[in-house]
Structure 1
Amino acid sequence: MSGVTLKNVRKAFGAVDVIKDVSLEVPKGEFGVFVGPSGCGKSTLLRMIAGLEDTSGGVIEIGGRDVTNEEPAKRGVAMVFQSYALYPHLSVFENMAFSLRLARASKSEAKRKVHEAAEILQLTDHLDKKPSALSGGQRQRVAIGRAIVREPEVFLFDEPLSNLDAELRVQMRLELTRLHKQIGATMIYVTHDQVEAMTLADDIFVLRGGVVQQAGTPLTLYDDPDNRFVAGFIGSPAMNFLQGRVTRRTEGGMAVAVEDGELEVRVEGAAPGEGTDLVVGVRPEHLGPVESGGFTAQVEMSEELGGNSYVHSTPPSGGGDIVFERRGVRERLTGQTVRLGAVPENVFAFTPDGVRVR
């Protein structure tokens, strides 16, 4: 079991840099997740760690060993892809044992390793079946089992749950979490789904345009984003953003004019001066109806989820959907004009180019 360290890693296709001077560390035994929108470079970065893509610059270390120029088979990694890539004519046992036979492992050793992996993945009763007789979740477990039997130093997952339906995705997330705890291996997981990232990761690495925007625990990124991109990407429903301008400084920060009202923002350092243009962000669970202050919005519709609801509204400017959460309230607000506000500690401010104002 080894950790993974990247030092100033670059990847260029011709004159275009797709990975730009990335440095990060996934400590031994931790579950790291690369998350970001399509085209941000997360899968390319994973393939570089696996040795499936050449590195244009920088150093990749696994267990403190420089593997930048080593062949994939010598890096001590196993990769699980979005496609199950199972051999349809082979049984589950034969699929899981295939790499061991290529490595000329003895029959007894292959049998032992396959049965150990099958027990971990609850596949013992399916070892004689062909992939066509399995569900999507079971096939993905076979693909993971094929990686486990190799006893790699690092597991790499490239969007392995994308082909599953919503219910199976939730189930497989739980199974991956249990698997990580049970075998204690270092795992790196790529996804565009921030909910997967939040629920699986010890540490999240948010990528955009080949650059790590921020790294940290799920709650650190949620509670304390460094910029507007991370603030908007982490969290579901997404953070609300409003254009604003500083009207005055307050004892703990500043007041920012938004729409037809204002919101106060808590700032630890020196607050920007009056007249400064900012973008204000508030998460749906921190925004709600208030008696005074805040700003007005016209309620368009509600997503009623039982214990809570997400209310979609339009501000006076008509610029964008403003979502706020209600818990344990059954009164419908559709068609009404409401005044929305939040306490200063729960309001974020960003410069026009997206930098967090702290």
Structure 2
Amino acid sequence: SNPPKAWYRSKSPMDKFLLPRERTVCKNDAPHRTSTFELLITYFTDEQTRTLFAILHTKRITTRQRPASGMADKLKASVQGELSSVHKTASDGVKSGAYMYPIKGIFYFLGHKHLWKPFVSKLIPTMGLGLAVTTFMFAFTYLPQLAVLLFTSGPLAVVSTLFLVLSESSALTMLLSKALLIEHSLLDTFDATLVARGHTALVERERQVKSNKYGDAIQRLGKLASKPFSKFTPSALIRYLMYLPLNFIPVVGTAIFIILRGKAYGPQAHARYFQLKGMSGPQRERFVEQRRGAFTGFGIPATLLETIPIAGILFAFTNTCGAALMAADLEQNGETSPELKERASKSQ
């Protein structure tokens, strides 16, 4: 028998052979929509041939679906891997107890008055810088941010924007003051804390340290033997500005902002320790990666403390004390690799 007539709606002559496009055929003198597979199979009456077409058609559909399934599996595996990494970092941070060092730094700083000298000497200029930054932020960024937060926070936008601008001003003041005003004061605080904890030999690798007869730990510090690591780079400011829009997302966005900054803050706070140990760039990266949970655990509460308006400058010094206390414990517990110990012993 002759095959049924068909009218193809495709523009290309080859399009009619593609599977499984729908076609309109005349069935019992009435239009009927059917697939190309059904159309082809009407040409064959042999059962084996019809079965073969059915198998090929099924495999074609299965093959078409595989890439999407594979992509979904890859995405699922990537998400699971990221969650596993976050869980491991959080678990290691809790087990290490490093999150307590910013708190220990507060009590240690307040209990050792000789450590106040670098802080007091920079207090007035830093407060002046903070006032200028806060005034600028309220004058030029309050209203634009309020307009954005009106869509996310509703009636609470006024209060939310107030705290957001204060937090941003405090963070920006910290970045600028560490770059322009207090970098060397923080360095003296770090070294003096190590000297007070009995790690004079470690500090002597990079600066002169006088004997005990010269007074307290601050008075014993002499000239630097080499230029310290710069804690401020343009990339730090760019990174901060990139993370800033996260604060427009209520609660969750601010939490992510603090975590990301805390992850970077931990290693930055210990840059002086890495220099005293004579670590190269790859050695620092390996050292930090092996203790990622501990450094992140230190960085998150330290970042939170420094974002507190007005008091942020004080917590910058207490966090430095906390970082030095953590470094002293790392030394005391012997958590330095054997090659670094050998290298340090040769330099003495």
Give the TM-score normalised by the residue count of structure 2: 0.19
Higher strand share: 1
Higher helix share: 2
Greater relative contact order: 1 or 2 (C-alpha under 8 angstroms, separation 6 or more)? 2
Rg bigger for which structure?
A: 2
